[in-house]
Amino acid sequence: MPGSREQLRTTFDSAAACYHEARPDYPAELFDDLAALAALQPGAELLEIGCGTGKATLPLARRGFAITGVELGPALAAQASRNLAGFARVTVVNADIETWRPPAPAAFDLVFAATAWHWIDPAARYGRAWELLKPGGHLAFWEAVHVVPRDGDPFFRELQEVYEEIGEGVPDGTDFATPQTLPDRAEEIEASGLFTDVRLRRFDWEIRYTAQAYIRLLDTFSGHIAMAPWQRRRLYGEIRRRLAARPDGRLRRHWGAVLHVARRRPPG
């Protein structure tokens, strides 16, 4: 896909209107495990990096946690504020996490990111999280990604010929991850020297999409937003044509996520 990390991470703001509806909800079990592994107590102070429209914020807000969401995109931040307006202990800030400064240093019991951690400057993200956490606080992140189990829908492999035709094919030898082979960042976390007690949990779930709903989802992905209009027309037209030939007109997309939770090391 074209574009650098810095360019692509700003594209989501153009999809703010459909992001909340199109992106998948995370499994409830993920939030159960997050609260347990991070030892979150009632009223804990949480910081979310890249809260988007509040897909992960809402389930945690409903559990009574105080949350500050920092979101780079102004339209996404505005949508999150509307979605979370009913929670007095939730604040959304339109800012860049690399330069944002909280009212008080080391203020949070948990710093977390849901499908946003990879957009933060790799040279700064662990240090930034460490300095925002209280002593003994936790870092957590996960990402909802496309996985294809052995019994998954063949639609996606078949569609790769269209991606190749429009110049958006994957490198030779690349294959879809399965829920079991989805990579984790445990070694990366430990190598930072700033966190310990790294624990992982894996999740996978399935959602069925009509052509319209799936195209709406693709319109929230940075790579598809950055495509030229002719590329999207060709790809989306082929998605509609192929799904129209199916009896139910739907595809099955599997999602996978690896929840990472680690405890902040003491200074020194």
131-155 pLDDT per residue, tens = 999 999 999 999 999 999 999 999 9
Query: Residue 227: its pLDDT value, please?
Result: 95
DSSP assignment of 132-188 equals: HEEEEEEEEEE--EEE--TTS-THHHHHHHHHHHTT-PPPTT--PPPTTT----HHH
- Rounded to whole angstroms, the Cα distance separating 67 from 44 reads 8
Instruction: Name the token pair of 198.
Output: 């790294």
Instruction: Give residue 107's pLDDT.
Output: 87
As a whole number of angstroms, the longest Cα–Cα distance in the chain is: 62
Domain range spanning residue 123?
Answer: 5-264
42-73 burial, b if ≥16 CB within 10 A, otherwise e? eebbbbbbbbbbbbbbbbbbebebbbbbbbbb
Q: What is the pTM of this model?
A: 0.89
**pLDDT at 7 (0 to 100):** 47
Query: What's the token pair of residue 258?
Result: 């690896």
- The stretches in the chain having pLDDT less than 70 are 1-16
Q: pLDDT digit string (tens) for 74-116? A: 999 999 999 999 999 999 999 999 999 998 777 899 999 999 9
Task: Please name the residue ranges forming H helices in the chain.
Answer: 5-8, 16-22, 28-37, 57-61, 74-83, 125-132, 155-165, 186-191, 211-218, 222-225, 229-244
Domain count, the chain: 1
Chain-centroid distance of CA 81 in Å reads 18
Q: What is the pLDDT of residue 5?
A: 46
- DSSP for residue 44: -
For residue 28, what is the domain's CATH number?
A: 3.40.50.150
